[in-house]
Amino acid sequence: MGMEDVLAAVGPRLKHIRRQRACTLAALSKATGISVSTLSRLEAGQRKPSLELLLPIAHAHQVPLDELVGAPPVGDPRVRLRPVKHRDDCTVVPLTRQPGGPQAFKMVIGTARSTPEPRTHEGYEWLYVLAGELRLVLAERDMVLGAGEAAEFDTRLPHWFGSTGRGPVEVLSLFGPQGERMHVRARPVPEGAARRPGAGCRPGD
């Protein structure tokens, strides 16, 4: 296949990948900073693909650049998730690959100590503890969730979560612009433990 054929196939491939992820042109435009008209012309083959356009699209879809340009398959069906190391001994693995809508993460938070710094932002978050204990500070509440427990809350409330300091914790996090009323199932932190700072991390930090 010649270079012209490769470039001509990029537009339909971009459209196919976007539709696979149920992503609108408007959502992709917001995630990439590329105008809707440019994205539309790119998918229709009316705009020549360039690294300046393809790199932010690949980042938004969380796919390798060679998937956008049609590199030959290597016969490996595995999804290669790339963990991101954050400060405070926290590793975040993104589980979703589409811009906009609910985002899923797996977090492994170590025992490094830090002072809770509650934050607010638009959206809703759902947390599920896979292993260990998670300290959750939500507005005026300070609580601990054990393995198998979950919490759901409006992120416009000041919130922070991290390790209790007694060991690492593994957490699933679902974050999105929409959600239901808060449901928290957890036990209060004992008085002595409430003053023990844990390690906090946010996927967006």
Please state, rounded to an integer, the average pLDDT across all residues of the chain: 76
Contact (CB, 8 A) for 154 and 178: no
Band of the pLDDT at 123, cuts 50, 70, 90? Answer: confident
Contact (CB, 8 A) for 58 and 65: yes
Residue 185 has pLDDT above 80, yes or no: no
Mean pLDDT for 65-93 is 65
Q: Which helix (H) or strand (E) holds 128?
A: strand 124-131
pTM: 0.51
For the chain, counts of helices (H) and of strands (E):
6, 11
Q: So what's the pLDDT on residue 82?
A: 66
Q: So what's the pLDDT on residue 187?
A: 47
Mean pLDDT for 28-33 is 91
Residue 118 CA to residue 44 CA, distance in Å, equals 45
**Structure-token pair, residue 191:** 């008085």
C-alpha closest to that of 138 among 80, 182, 85, 93: 182
Residue 3 has pLDDT above 70, yes or no: no
- Residue owning tokens 């914790």: 169
Residue scoring higher pLDDT (4 or 80): 4
Q: 164-184, pLDDT tens digit by residue?
A: 888 888 999 888 765 444 344
User: Residue 125, SS3?
Assistant: strand
Mean pLDDT for 130-142 is 91
